[in-house]
Amino acid sequence: MAHKRIAPIGVMKQGGTAWRPLVPVEGFFRAWNVLFLGSMGTMTDQLHGLTKDIDSLREEALSRLESLQSVDDSVAWEREFLGPKGKMTTLLRGLGGLPPEARPAAGRAAQSLRQELENTFRPVRERLAKGALLQRLSADAVDVTLPGRQPLIGAAHPVSTMIDELVEIFGLLGFRAIFGPEVETGRYNFDLLNIPADHPARDVWDTIIVDDPDVELVLRTHTSPMQARAMERSEPPIRVIVPGKAFRFEAQDASHEWQFSQIEGLAVDTHITMTDLKGVLQEMARQLFGPERRIRFRCDFFPFVEPGVEFAVDCAICNGTGCRVCKHSGWLEMGGAGMVHPNVLRAVGHDPDIFTGFAFGLGIERLVMMKYGVDDLRIFAATDIRLLRKLSFVAF
Ligand code: PHE
């Protein structure tokens, strides 16, 4: 190999922490060779080989560095040339094979290449990283002038709110809230309530039947089965209310839903009379609709009460003079009530000669409709969020 340039060792300068050769290391080894090694042929050959290796490594590394396009490329380049298993490391390891006298100078030359590669690589990597960052930033750009998205805030369903209100009102009157199963047996939904097997309420047209070969199961058609469960479970005095869902096989329209909510009330004790029933319902109406409210009882029939009534409250919107909400009758129908039938008391194990009781049941959706002048029952189970916006008074 022809060495064109020869430079003495002294022509190296220290810049910062890095050694930077002013001449190609190839030239340096030539000088080394001439000055110190004389005719030691083998070592010269070895050094020649190393010099060549260093130069070609530099050439390869630098030209590949120029073509790097991405951060990934730069990582790969660094691994290939400067990494622990990279070519630079391999070259440095190779120095161990040199004769001891040659190692320091050769080592310096190799280290100097390493420094050179590191110094040249650093700005390239920074440039590529910066480019990638800028690209990501512009891709993820947020338009800060867009209006924010309002978070949805939960709100209680107006039926739930009404239940809470009723639980509080009846709680002050001494009633405890209890809850019962929505899937009931025929025994509790009908039999114990003095509704015999041939009663039309058991007809499939009213009752949603759960298919079970062993037991008569229904979706409860009212909350009244809990009268029987409560009386069966405990000795009088009993004062309970039962809010919950009820189901009927019905065509839907503005005032009929197959799923709705009721609240049942039951008081059993010695000397309970119709007057107690009236007092309790009147107080409920006043608490819900204002102190001026009056209630009306009219005869009605339910198999599990005797006497039975339907009760209404005078319309709070028009004060009983007649308006659209009360359909110009002055009264709003609320539900059924009456004195617990002796057959029911007997069926659940209480002596009707000792105990008397009253029971009532009313539709909760109806109460909400009256309170807010809603004219379509179907909105309550429609899961339309506008219902909450309107009736739960939540700003969203
Ligand atoms: N359960 C009856 C119904 O759903 C209402 C009612 C309850 C009537 C209690 C009298 C006593 O229609």
Question: Tell me: the pLDDT tens digits for 168-205?
Answer: 999 999 999 999 999 999 999 999 999 988 888 777 66
User: What is the pLDDT, as a whole number, of residue 369?
Assistant: 86
Beta strands in the chain, from DSSP E residues, in sequence order = 12-15, 18-21, 176-177, 183-185, 209-210, 217-219, 238-247, 259-269, 295-300, 305-314, 331-340, 356-363
What distance in Å separates the CA atoms of residue 52 and residue 57, rounded to the nearest whole number? 8
Q: Return all residues near 289 (Cβ < 8 A) that are at least 6 apart.
A: 313, 316, 370, 371
Residue 373 has pLDDT above 70, yes or no: yes
Ligand 1 atom 9: residue of nearest CA: 360
Question: Hey, which residues are catalytic here?
Answer: 205, 222, 248, 262, 305, 359
Which atom belonging to ligand 1 lies closest to the Cα atom of 361?
7
User: What is the pLDDT, as a whole number, of residue 36?
Assistant: 46
What distance in Å separates the CA atoms of residue 209 and residue 7, rounded to the nearest whole number? 106
Residue 374 pLDDT grade (very low, low, confident, very high; cuts 50, 70, 90):
confident
Residue 339 has pLDDT above 90, yes or no: yes
Ligand 1 atom 12: residue of nearest CA: 336
Question: Tell me: the pLDDT tens digits for 343-365?
Answer: 999 999 999 999 999 999 999 99
Question: Tell me: the pLDDT tens digits for 260-270?
Answer: 999 999 999 99
Q: What is the mean pLDDT of residues 247-273?
A: 92
Ligand 1 atom 4: residue of nearest CA: 222
In the DSSP assignment, the letter for residue 386 is H
Which atom belonging to ligand 1 lies closest to the Cα atom of 221?
4
User: What is the pLDDT, as a whole number, of residue 153?
Assistant: 79
Residue 37 pLDDT grade (very low, low, confident, very high; cuts 50, 70, 90):
very low
| Centroid of ligand 1 to alpha carbon of 308 (angstroms) | 9
Which of 268, 304, 333, 366 has most ligand 1 atoms within 8 Å of CB, for mutation? 304
Which atom belonging to ligand 1 lies closest to the Cα atom of 265?
9
Least confident of 65-69, 123-127, 253-257: 253-257
Q: Which domains does the chain have, with CATH numbers?
A: 12-139 (no CATH), 158-391 (3.30.930.10)
Which of 194, 222, 284, 366 has most ligand 1 atoms within 8 Å of CB, for mutation? 222
Ligand 1 atom 7: residue of nearest CA: 361
Write out the two tokens for 19. Answer: 């050694």
Residue 279 pLDDT grade (very low, low, confident, very high; cuts 50, 70, 90):
very high
- Calculate the average pLDDT of the chain: 86
Q: Which phi and psi (to 5°) does residue 78 adopt? A: -60, -40
Which range has the top average pLDDT, 3-7, 26-30, 103-107, 229-233? Answer: 229-233
Q: Which residues line ligand 1 (CB under 6 A)?
A: 222, 224, 302, 305, 335-338, 359-361
Which atom belonging to ligand 1 lies closest to the Cα atom of 336?
8
Question: Tell me: the pLDDT tens digits for 8-32?
Answer: 444 444 444 444 544 455 545 554 4
In the DSSP assignment, the letter for residue 11 is -
Beta bridge partners of 21: 12
User: What is the pLDDT, as a whole number, of residue 4?
Assistant: 47
